[in-house]
Structures are given as C-alpha cells and as structure tokens.
A and B are shown apart, each in its own frame.
Chain A
Amino acid sequence: MGSPRFWSWAALVAGVLYFFLPLAGMFEFSLRARRGEYSLQAYANVLGDPQFRDTFLYSVVAALFTIVLGVLIVAPTAFWVRLKLPRLRPVIEFITLLPLVIPPIVIVFGYIRLYNTSSWLPLTGTAAGTNLLLVFGYATLALPYMYRAVDTGLRSIDIATLTEAAQGMGAGWFTIITRLILPNILSSLLSGAFLTFAIVIGEYVFAALLNRPAFGPYMVWMGGNKAYEPAALAVIAFGITWVCMGVIQLAARLGRHNRVQR
C-alpha cells in the first residue's frame, strides 16, 4: 500500500505546484509597480482609474440584469414543464445545452448579422439596443448553468403536491410561483445567479464584438498598454470568481440544511 500512496502525494504536489505558481506569480507581479519594493501601487492605479470604475460598474449592472432576465425566463419554464409538460423536458433541456455546443463567438456573429441596422429588429443601431442585446446574449450564455441549477432545485421538492395544495387554498399562478416555488428553490437560484455573475463579469467576446464598454475589453486593453496593472486586475478577477464559488457552496449547504429540517 505504501507505494500507491507515495505516488498519490507526488501527483498532488505536482498539481498544487502547477495550480499555485500562476496565482503566486500574478500576485507577486501585481505588487511590483514601484521599483525596488513591493507596493499596492498597481491596485491604487487600477482603482483610481475612472475607466476601471465605469467598465466594472457597467459589467456589474449587465450581470444583474442578466441574472434577473435569466431567472424570469428559466424558473417559470422549468416549473411549468415539470408540472404540465413533462414530455417537453428533453426538448427544453436540449435547447438549454446548445450554448455549450455553439461557440459564443458564432452566436454573437449571428447577432451582428441578424440585428444590424438594416434588419427587421435593428438592435445594434442604438446604444440602448446594443446593451439590451448584450444582456440577452449573456442570458443565453448562462442558460445551461441557470437551467441546471433551477432544475436541480425543483427536483428536490414535490411541485405537484405543493401546487395542488396552494390551488386548493385559492392561490393563483403568480402567487404560486412567487411565494411558493421561488422561496423553495432559492438556494438553487442563488447558485445559478452567482455562476452567471462570474461568467458575465469578465466576459470578453460578446462585449468586444458588440462594442460595449465592459470590464472584459477593458482588461484586454490594459494588457496591451500597462505592465503591472493587468496582474492587479487578474487578482481582482480571481477574487471575484472565488467569492462567487464560495457563495454557491454556501447556498448549496444552506439548501441541504433546509431539506433535512423539512
């Protein structure tokens, strides 16, 4: 038994080295902005840059709109299909997986050609229209993750019985969805929401090709023009990803906790 365990440790050490070094490198690099000493200068430069604040805020707002849109589209559909149209489920599932099959760059290419100024729905003609298109695009990218999260949440509760009980007490569909289903799948919704946030905040291709002032294109611009600030941005982005994933785990744990009590 001794030798397999040795190889396990060896593999683990190599893995930790590979995954840890780039993180250490990016952190160390981000501290080098002042010659001869470690400082937080690069972070100060980044945080003090109005462009950073504008693009970051833009992406945060885009992410929030995407989450709201995603929940509005996915949650009622997943609920309805489970309750009334179970035969349609494979079709819906297939559609939600398509954004993993079709490369994002192809989807946005389609947007640009389909919704240009000379088309029937000239979304790219105005800034507001393009913003809207970007949010719809992000909701499409997030579709697989959002749908799977919500569907997993729905699986763990008995929707048919709950719905019938609510109807028996005179609740309408709006009440059923907002006061019965949504609170019950809250932890799943949260994990879908934070995954969406993590995806949207650093997204590059959609924002760049639709010409929107988002955080992703700003980071690329920084990469081409500054030395140490990109590393600081990478540390910030890594922190955001880490927080999002942490919240998801927390939400999952809370969800499990609720279920045990029930």
Chain B
Amino acid sequence: MTDATLAEPVAPAPVAPAPVAAESPAPRPRRTAALALKWLGVAPFMIFALLFLILPTIHIVLGAFQTPEGAFTLRNLAGLAVPQVVRPFMLSIRLSLLTAGLGCLIGLILAAAVTRGGLPGWIRDAMLTFSGVASNFAGVPLAFAFIATLGRLGLVTVVLKEVFGINLAATGFNLISFAGLTLTYLYFQIPLMILIITPALDGLKREWREAAEILGASGAQYWRMVALPVLWPSLLGTFALLFANSFGAVATAMALTGSSLSIVPIILFAQIRGDVLQDPHLGYAIAFGMIVITGIANLVYIVLRSRAEKWVR
C-alpha cells in the first residue's frame, strides 16, 4: 500500500529513456501495432480482475438497486432500516470501532516499548516476527485457541478456579459474547498495528527528540507535542484499516459464537445460505452497505497514509 503514492513518480525515470531511444527510428504503422501489443500485455490481468473481482462486485451493487424483475428501486436500501438489519450493523460498527481503537492503542504502546523503550534489540525482531505470524493467525483456529483458553474448560478458566478460587463465569465474563469477541479480535488487530506503526516510529527522527529536550521538554511533552502530531495521520489511517479488517471478518466470529452473536457478516452469511431475511434483494443491500462502510474506511486509510509519508521517510 505504501507504494501507491510513493513509487509512482519514481517509476518512469529508469524506464523512459531506453524505449524512446530504441523505438524512435521505427516506422509509423509499426508504432500502433506496438501500442496494441503493449495493452495486450496487461489483458490477462484485466480480464481476470474484471471477471472475478469487478463484475461480481458490480453485480451486487446493481442488485441492491434492483427489484427481482430488474427495475430500478430504492426499496432494498430502505429495507435496511428494520431492526433485524440495523442491530447487526450497529453491533458490527461498535465491535470494529472498539477493536480498532484498542488495537491501535495497545499496538502503539507495545511498538513504542520495543522501538523507543530501551529494550534489547532482539526483542524488537522477535516481536516483529511474531506479529507477522499472529496477524495471519486469524479465522477458525484462533477461535479454537481462545475457547481452549477462556472457554468453560479452558486453561485460564480452570487455573483461575482451582488455584486462585476465582470462578470466571460468576464474574460475568463469557467468551461467547461481545467482550469475548473483542478480546479474540485483538489477537490479530494488535499485531497488525505493530507491523504498520513500527516503521512510522522508526521514522521519528532522533533530532526532534534532542531538539525537544534542549528546549526543556519532558518525555511526556515530547510525545504529546512532537511525536503524536507527526504520527497522527499514521495512527488514524491504521485505525481505519483495522476497522475495515474487523468489519469484514467472518470465520473467527462464526467459529467462536456459532451464530449467536449477530454481526453483519454472519447475517449476510446466513442470508446467502438460506435467505433467512426472506427477501433475496435485501441480501444485496446488506452487502452494498458493507462495501460502503469498508470502502469509506479504506479511503480514509489511503488518504491519511499519503499524508503520513510526508513526515515519515
């Protein structure tokens, strides 16, 4: 994602001079043939993207605005405004906001601890390697790991009960709940934050810290008045990315809670499988709503990312 804005102006430089020198003596008709050939080179990719990414999405978006007979309508979108759809959307948004927020905060603290906190260097490498693994350890196995840890017979539950005499269930904690899902999602959200924010923290120049110290700033003042303002676009952008990341996740929630917790992707999953809402086109509208929300989040990410790169080089 970094290169989207970074590499574009750089790319033409090494490429441009060579072809010009090689092709300019060629006669004119050959040039149009060469141009056609040029575009033919990206045809396989374009056809693939069209068939398996763009057309399916367009089909869903159009379906959200169509009646079963194919006429234009806004009824499907209006149909979203029923409690059985609004509630899952609110739940999903709350879950995504919370896990993105906590993921950012905890990830930032951990990343700051290993990059700036005076810890041995190998800890930093170990943490980055582990983050690479943990951010990919999502889905079904992650849910199993948490059930085996905090479930009714899980390791932590049993140890708390037998060693410390604490009955976890009696304290009101239940893994198959909003809190449990939040705790589980953080297992891939925090590492993703660490992976993205560590390069940004590395980009904080030593001179800035020294300048702040010379001017008499305390450590807290340096973070509040120098580091955080510089990091702000990165933080907000990563927040948006984490939000989208958790909003679209299905497998973890499904394996953890079955379908007892109605977040949007689970509702859509059930709708695709068996039309539980009894209105096929409402499914299109829900999917469209998901695209809009993750689309906005990613747009925020891309815009803020390019802004963040101005400082962090």
Contact = CB atoms under 8 A, between A and B. Distances in A.
B148 A205 contact: no
Interface string B96-126: 0000000000100110111001110001000
Interface in A170-200: 195, 198-199
Interface string A231-260: 101100110011011001100000000000
B148 A28 contact: yes
B53 A216 contact: no
B268 A86 contact: no
Given A21-B156, A76-B44, A86 B56 contact: no
Q: Which of A22, A198, A230: most chain B CB closer than 10 A?
A: A22
B110 to A, nearest CB: 5
A220 B268 contact: no
Contact of A105 (B55, B63, B154, B269): B269
A84 B118 contact: no
Given A85-B41, A161-B18, A216-B139, A19 B187 contact: yes
B141 A233 contact: yes
Given A105-B248, A151-B3, A22 B187 contact: yes
B57 interface: yes
Contact of A88 (B18, B42, B118, B272): B42
A231 B251 CA distance: 16
Given A89-B8, A223-B144, A234-B144, A11 B57 contact: no
Nearest to B265: A105
A157 to B, nearest CB: 10
B147 interface: yes
A111 B244 CA distance: 21
Contacts of A48: none
B164 interface: no
A220 B155 contact: no
Interface residues on B, range: 35 or more
A180 to B, nearest CB: 15
A25 B49 contact: no
A12 interface: yes
Q: Which of A21, A23, A106, A140: most chain B CB closer than 10 A?
A: A106
Nearest to A78: B45
A5 B117 contact: yes
Nearest to A219: B140
A38 interface: no
B37 to A, nearest CB: 9
Interface string B48-72: 1101111111011001000000000
A163 to B, nearest CB: 8
B155 A113 contact: no
Contact of B144 (A15, A26, A93): A26
Nearest to A97: B1
A90 B7 CA distance: 9
A50 interface: no
Given A107-B53, A224-B258, A245-B136, A8 B156 contact: no
Contacts of B7: 89, 155
Contacts of A21: 149, 155-156
A73 B187 contact: no
B129 A249 contact: yes
Interface in B192-223: 219
A25 B145 contact: yes
Given A8-B119, A84-B38, A92-B45, A110 B144 contact: no
Contact of A209 (B132, B244, B273): B273
Interface stretch (B81-89, B228-236, B288-296): B288-296
B110 A12 contact: yes
B53 to A, nearest CB: 5
A57 to B, nearest CB: 18
29 contacts: A5-B118, A7-B117, A12-B114, A18-B190, A19-B134, A22-B146, A24-B149, A25-B145, A25-B156, A26-B148, A29-B155, A81-B41, A82-B15, A92-B42, A103-B294, A106-B57, A109-B268, A139-B48, A140-B53, A198-B136, A204-B140, A205-B250, A220-B140, A223-B143, A233-B144, A234-B141, A234-B145, A237-B137, A238-B137
Which 9 pairs show the lowest CB-CB distances between chains A and B? Answer: A110-B56, A8-B117, A25-B149, A103-B248, A29-B148, A25-B155, A237-B141, A234-B144, A204-B251
Interface of A: 1, 4-5, 7-9, 11-12, 15, 18-19, 21-26, 28-30, 72-74, 76-77, 80-90, 92-95, 97-114, 136-137, 139-140, 143, 148, 151-152, 155, 158-161, 164, 195, 198-199, 202-205, 208-209, 216, 219-220, 223-224, 227, 230-231, 233-234, 237-238, 241-242, 244-245, 248-249
Given A86-B12, A245-B129, 7 more contacts: A5-B117, A8-B112, A11-B110, A12-B114, A15-B190, A22-B148, A85-B38
